Structure 1
Amino acid sequence: MVKLVLMHKADSIYEDEPDVVYDFPRSYLNAVREAVGDWIVYYEPVKAGPRGYFAVAKIDRVIPKPRVEGRFLAMIAPGSFLPFDREVPRILKGRPMEAALTEPDGTPKKGGAVQLAVRRLPEADFARIVDLGLPQELEQIEAARYDPQPAELAEGAEPFRRPVLERLTRRPYRDVAFRRKVRDAYGYRCAMSGLMLRNGGGRPEVQAAHIRPVENQGSDSVRNGLSLSGTLHWMFDRGLISVADDCETILVSHNKVPGEVVGRLLVPDGKLVRPADPRNAPHPENLRWHRENVFGRALSEEPVSWV
């Protein structure tokens, strides 16, 4: 197995969806096949945007692209995709993050390997990029964000340093990374009420909801998340509310949710508040899954009390 860098552009003409599938030509087939079962890092080239290295994922398998000669699909292992908390530039302090893109004198190479859409990535380079994008101390950073001295960071305590791969597969760490990215994408505002509430210490009350749950092969992509207040998160998970196929109209199970509850909790126009960056908008396929598998079904036999 081998680790790779996969180049991805948000407006690519290919059928890429970083948390689901990567579309590539035959010229990279051998390299991608070698990476099956291993991790890759996604990279956005400078001309396409400012993100640099922006996420990790694991390749599950490679298949020919249906009805397209000479192209293949790298299928991403469910639950493996994780966006970086901090995007990592290709060049840091004058030196490239990848050894293959570095001249003997330490300066960046130009052309050639720099332009490859698929590049092999040594273990040391992979670990360095991930450590910058997903810091070892991310859980501690989040815990101390609104409490400078939380109980778990008592004076003299040293945070436990986990190996890179253990960190990438550990659910509590991934939950923190997902929550930080989703809430930030929506400006700490609830996508369905439009409210941005903070407690006395400045801690935002909004939560990060998976549209398609992880246990149902949902990913930790921001596009599989909604920033919701606690009550609306509860209602969304139980199928009382969802989002229509126009990706903005909020659907309500009116036979279970009284009109006065709707009026108090949802934005007046009934439209989803969108992230500032369109690339973070909920993916239509995730919303479709929620409508078809959760909305109006989960509570069919369970009475709801609104007292």
Structure 2
Amino acid sequence: MVKLVLMHKAESIYEDEPDAVYDFPRSYLKAVQDAIGDWIVYYEPVKAGPRGYFAVARIERVIPKPGAEGRYLALIQPGSFLPFDTEVPRLRNGRPLEESLTAANGTPLRGGAVQLAVRRLPEGDFARIVDLGLPPELEQMEATRFNPEPAALREEPLTFKRPVIERLTRRNYRDVAFRRKVRDAYDFRCAMSGLRLRNGGGRPEVQAAHIRPVERQGSDSVRNGLALSGTLHWMFDRGLISIAEDCETILVSRNKVPGDVVDRLLSPNGKLHKPEDPRNSPHPANLRWHRENIFGQIMPGEPVPWN
């Protein structure tokens, strides 16, 4: 097995869905097949946008692309995709993070490997990029992010640096990374009520909800997330509310949710408040899955928070 960098351009002819599938030509088939079962880093080139290295995932298998001669699909292992907390630029202090793109004097190379859409990534380069994008201390960073206690009064915690792969596969760490990305994408505003509430210490009330649950092969992509208040999160997970095919109209199970509850909790226009960056908006396929598999499926007799 071998780790790779996969170049992703949102407007290219290749139909990538980074958390599900990577579309590539035959010329890269051998390299991608060698990476089956291993991890990759996604990279957005400078001409396509500012993100640089922006996520990790693991390749599960490779298949020919149906109806497209000479094209292949790398299928991403469900539950492996994780966006970086901080997107990582290609250069650090003027030097590339990939040794294969670095000249002997430390300056960036031009042409050649730089232009490859699929590049082999040594273990050391992989660990360095992931540590920058998903820091080992991310959980501690989140735990103290909105802590009103003055820094001088806090004891410095002992930080245990877990190996990179253990970190990427540990559910608690992934939940923290997902929560940070989703709440930031929605600017800490509930997508269904439109409210941005904070407690006395400044801690946001809004939570991060998976549209398609991880245990049902949902990903940790921001596009599989919604920022929701606690009650609306509960209602969404239990199928009392969902999002229509237009990806913005809020659906309500009217026979289960009283009208006055709808009036108090949801935006008056009944529309979803989306992230400012359209690349973070809920993916239509995830919303469709929720409508078809969760909406209206609440278990009878389950207690509700408004009784």
TM-score greater than 0.5 by the shorter chain: yes
The reply to whether residue 171 of structure 1 matches residue 171 of structure 2 is yes
The reply to whether residue 134 of structure 1 matches residue 134 of structure 2 is yes
The question of whether the paired residues in 2 share the 8 Å contact of 1:10 and 1:279 is answered with no
Offset, 1:300: 4.6
Within-5 A mapping of 1:1-307: 1-147=1-147, 155=155, 157-300=157-300, 302=302, 304=304, 306-307=306-307
Aligned length: 305
TM-score after normalising by structure 2: 0.97
Comparing 210-219 with 110-119, greater Cα deviation is found at 110-119
Gapped regions of structure 1 (runs ≥ 5): none
| Partner SS state of residue 5, structure 1 | strand
Structure 2 distance, partners of 1:13, 1:256, is: 45
Structure 2 distance, partners of 1:156, 1:260, is: 48
> What's the RMSD between the two structures over aligned residues?
1.4
Structure 2 distance, partners of 1:265, 1:122, is: 50
Offset, 1:148: 6.1
Structure 2 distance, partners of 1:142, 1:30, is: 40
Name the aligned partner's letter for residue 65 of structure 1: K
TM-score after normalising by structure 1: 0.97
Structure 1 distance, partners of 2:85, 2:156, is: 26
- What percent identity do the matched residue pairs reach? 79
Structure 2 distance, partners of 1:305, 1:113, is: 57
Gapped regions of structure 2 (runs ≥ 5): none
The question of whether the paired residues in 1 share the 8 Å contact of 2:57 and 2:76 is answered with yes
The question of whether the paired residues in 2 share the 8 Å contact of 1:212 and 1:219 is answered with yes
Structure 2 distance, partners of 1:304, 1:39, is: 42
Structure 1 distance, partners of 2:169, 2:289, is: 24
Q: Show CA shifts across 1:176-199 (max 9, x none).
A: 000000000000000000000000
Name the aligned partner's letter for residue 246 of structure 1: D
Offset, 1:67: 1.1
